Structures are given as C-alpha cells and as structure tokens.
Structure 1
Amino acid sequence: MSPFTALAPSLEEEVDPRVADFYRQTLRALNGADIPFLVGGTFSHACYTGIRRSTKDLDLFIHREDYERIAQLMQRHGWRTELTHPHWLAKVYDGPEFIDLIFNSGNGVTPVDKRWFRGNCRAEILGVPVLIANAEDSLLSKAFIMERERYDGGDIAHLLEANAQRLDWASLLERFGPHWRVLLAHLTLFGYIYPGQRHHIPDWVMSRLMERLADEMHEAPATHENVCAGTLLSREQYLHDVERLGYVDGRLTGASSMTAEDVALWTADIHARKPHCTAGEP
C-alpha cells in the first residue's frame, strides 16, 4: 500500500463545467475499458500538496503500448486523437479542449513503465475514482523541466515540503541513476527554500549524493566527446551549444531514447507552440 493519502480535491471550481464534463467522460471511458492510466499534472499535485490552481488540460500517464487502444476508444466517443510527438506525447481533443496522454518525458529520459503503477493511491477526480501518479514519479518527471517559460522547481519544493518524510528515497535515487546531479540540485534548493525543513531529507540521501560529488571531483578529466546535457533540461536554451559550439546533444546519447528525428520535430515545435507551453516539458 502507498503511504500517501490523497487529499482528493474535486477541482470542480478550477475547471470550466463543459471542460470538466469532457474530462469526466474520458476518465469513465478508460475505467470502463479497464485500460491502466494514472492522473498527473495539476490534479495529482493538488492531491499531494493541497495547492489548487486552474489548469488548461488533464495529464494522464499511460503505457505506450496502450495508446492505439485508447485512441480507438476515444474516437468511438467522438473525440479526435493525435500522436503529437511519437517519442512521448499524444492528445485527445474535444474541440479546442484537450487531454495529454503521456508515455515518456519530452527529453526521452523517463518512460512510463510498470514501476509507475505500483502502490498508487486512489482519489476521486471530478467525481470519478482514479489512481494518482506516485509522488516519486511526479518529482522525477518535473525535475527536468527548466525552460525559460516554465520551471517546475517550485512544484518539486512543494512536493518535498509536504511529502519528503514519506518518499521511497532508495527508489528515487535508483530512478535518477546517472542524472543524480539533477536530484542533488533540487534537494540543495529545497534546503535553501525551507531551511527549517532540511532535516526532512534523510541524512543518508544527502551524504550519498555528496559522496558521489566528491568522488567525481577527484576523477580524471573525461576523455569522451564534449556533451551538453542541458538539452535534457531545456529543449531551447542549449540549442546554441549543439548547433554552433560543437557540443554533442545529450538527447542523442544513451541518456535518452530520442532519435535525431524526434529532436528535430521537438525543436520545430518550439516556435509553433509559443507563447503557450505543453505539459511535461522539456
């Protein structure tokens, strides 16, 4: 069982009634078809932190192999589907309104796999019983979002403020893997933002991360190609590095599942989507 108890705010007040009905029908359709999914985004964040805010869409985490089945189900209900970015994101449209179907992160680092569906807490969203994405997975997916127009560090700080003492830290460290510096950066900022709550991060977590940092400082300089991993944090802000300075794009290394075509499409989408941003970026 998950140690979390979702606050389960209905969020009726934060969503236009017509849009809420679209969300509600979609959730019921997925439940009725017995297709696994997890509610994330603004809704799950409210469950874990109590922070209520308006939202322009609904984020559902799914297995990639379930997308075609979900698309057929949605189309039978009269909604349009689109595999917007094949490496991570699809959408369900009801006129101008939409739902995001997320099966990876925009940088290709955090695919939705069976680990996401373990020990999830239950909640009622818009009156529909659903499973919520785990706090650990919410933190993992938000950790890499550092665009100029969107930075999810505040969300992570609030997740930690409310839940740090209940997180599965061993699993979280394992999930970050070679990206442990990103986790350390967020934990360091958390201690700055909430100095009185620093002790909520287990000592052994900070010690292990600092040991890794110390070990790295004493390693010989890397001899491999110059890589810019900044593209794993922002799809736009480090294009100068890979296009003009000769750095290898971090998304085209073993750190990510993205292909050169994925990167090109994701980059072309930058100007098409401004001034708005989509869920789960970068």
Structure 2
Amino acid sequence: MGYHTEITDSRWLAKVYFHDDYFMDIIYNTVNNICTVDDSWMENSYAGEFCGVPVQFLSAEELFWCKIYVQNRERFDGADLNHLIVRYGDRLNWNRVWMHLEIHWQLLMAQLLSFQFCYPSKRDLVPHWLMEELLAKAKEQYDLPTPQQTLCLGPLIDQTQYDIDVREWNYKTITMKSI
C-alpha cells in the first residue's frame, strides 16, 4: 500500500510508517521469547475499528502478560499495568492472567503490591483468591530447599542489566525453551 515498513528487532518488533509523524508497531513476540503471538491471541481479542478499518484488538489479559516483563532501565511498564488494573480490573479475566503468569508469579505479586500501594482504595479490583494464592506461594518458598544452582532470572526482564551476572559472575539463566 506504499507505506514504509521495517523490522526493528527481528526477535519481536516491526513498524509501519503512515506519515512523517505516525507509525504503528507490529509486535509478534517479546524480547525474552515468552509472549509469542499465536492463535489464542485472536481468539481472545475483541473487534474494533482503527482509522476506519475493522481490526481485532489485543485483549487486556495478553497486554498485561506482555507488559509485566518490561522492567528495564530504559523502560518500565509498571505504571501502564497499574493503569490497566484501575481502568479494567473489574473486567479482567484474572484466571487468564494467572494462567499466563503462574510460572513467574513473583513478578505478578510484585506488580499487584505496587498497584495496592498506588491505589489503596482500588485494591478490591484484584481478586482476593489471587492475592491469597500469591501469598501462599511466597510463604511456600521458605519451606523449600534453597536452589543449589546459581540461577539469575533477571535476563527475562532486562537482558542488558543482568548480562554481567551471566557473562562474568557465572550465573546460569533460562530461556522459555529450557523450561
């Protein structure tokens, strides 16, 4: 259609430039390769319109899932997540959020505690069952033996800031393929 396009980062991002000042990101994964776009994203999307064209919009649950991993020096999406909860928390499918994030429940717990700090009068937007589940998991950590492997999961949220841990300090990291 004559628009300029570019693959900004082959791991996850492309851009379409409409005019000098307007562009659209096409996100098909996350840098950490955790939130790969698949058919379930379309199944959970909702119909809308963009510039007069019918489109399917990303569900709030998938948006939440992707943004929770954006925690680096240059960009931190915690406020975006808090705003998502304050605006849509009563309509979020929290079971779906939990399905995506149970494997990295600590990130979800940290975000929900941040939300409670920022919006104490809105804490009821987060289901009680979910906070109970997270608190139980946190307590269980102290009943488990301490891992013997020197593992650093930091690269899942910031590949740059935790590079020294893996490169020089001999920490092991994981990828989603190794889980």
Instruction: Give the TM-score taking structure 1 as reference length.
Output: 0.58
* Among 157, 160, 171, the residue aligned to 1:233: 157
- State yes or no: 1:250 paired with 2:174: yes
The separation in 1 between residues aligned to 2:126 and 2:172, in whole angstroms, is: 34
**How far apart are the structure 1 equivalents of 2:19 and 2:175?**
33
Select the structure with the greater relative contact order (CA < 8 A; seq sep ≥ 6).
Answer: 1
Larger Rg: 1
Residue in structure 2 matched with residue 264 of structure 1 by the alignment: none
1:85 aligns with 2:9: yes
Percent identity, aligned pairs only, is 33
Query: Residue 52 of structure 2 corresponds to which residue in structure 1?
Result: 127
Instruction: Please name the residue that 1:7 is paired with.
Output: none
Matches within 5 A, 1:1-282: 77-93=1-17, 98-223=23-148, 225-251=149-175, 254-255=178-179
Distance 1:159 1:227, change over 3 A: same
Q: Shift in Å at residue 253 of structure 1?
A: 6.1
Whole-angstrom CA distance in 2 between matches of 1:106 and 1:211: 30
- Aligned equivalents of 1:87 and 1:174: distance in 2? 24
CA RMSD of aligned residues (A): 2.1
**CA separation in 2, counterparts of 1:252 and 1:174?**
15
Following superposition, the deviation at residue 103 of structure 1 comes to: 1.2
Question: Equivalent residue of 2:159, what SS?
Answer: coil
Structure 1 residue 156, shift from structure 2 partner: 0.2
Contact 2:33 2:176 in 1 (8 A): no
Deviations 1:254-279 (A, max 9, x none): 25xxxxxxxxxxxxxxxxxxxxxxxx
TM-score by length of structure 2 reads: 0.88
CA distance in 2, matches of 1:189, 1:251: 26
Whether the 8 Å contact between 1:230 and 1:250 is mirrored in structure 2 is no
Amino acid at match of 1:202: P
3-state SS of paired residue (1:124): strand
> 1:105–1:111: 8 Å Cα contact kept in structure 2?
yes
Q: Distance in 1 between matches of 2:44 and 2:19?
A: 35
- Against the structure 1 CA distance between its residues 107 and 133, is the aligned structure 2 distance closer, same or farther, given a 3 Å change threshold? same
Q: CA deviation at 1:85?
A: 3.2
Q: For residues 201 and 80 of structure 1, what CA distance do their matches in structure 2 show? A: 42
Give the letter for the 1:136 counterpart: E
* Cα distance in 2 for residues equivalent to 1:82 and 1:248: 34
Number of residues of Structure 1 aligned to a counterpart in Structure 2: 178
Name stretches of at least 5 consecutive residues in structure 2 with no aligned partner. Answer: none
Tell me the CA shift for residue 101 of structure 1. 2.1
Query: 1:204-262: CA deviations, max 9, x gaps?
Result: 01001111111122101113x3221111111211112112211123348625xxxxxxx
Aligned partners of 1:168, 1:152: CA distance in 2, in Å? 20
Q: 1:171 to 1:252 in 2, by over 3 A?
A: closer
Greater Cα offset, 115-124 or 189-198: 115-124
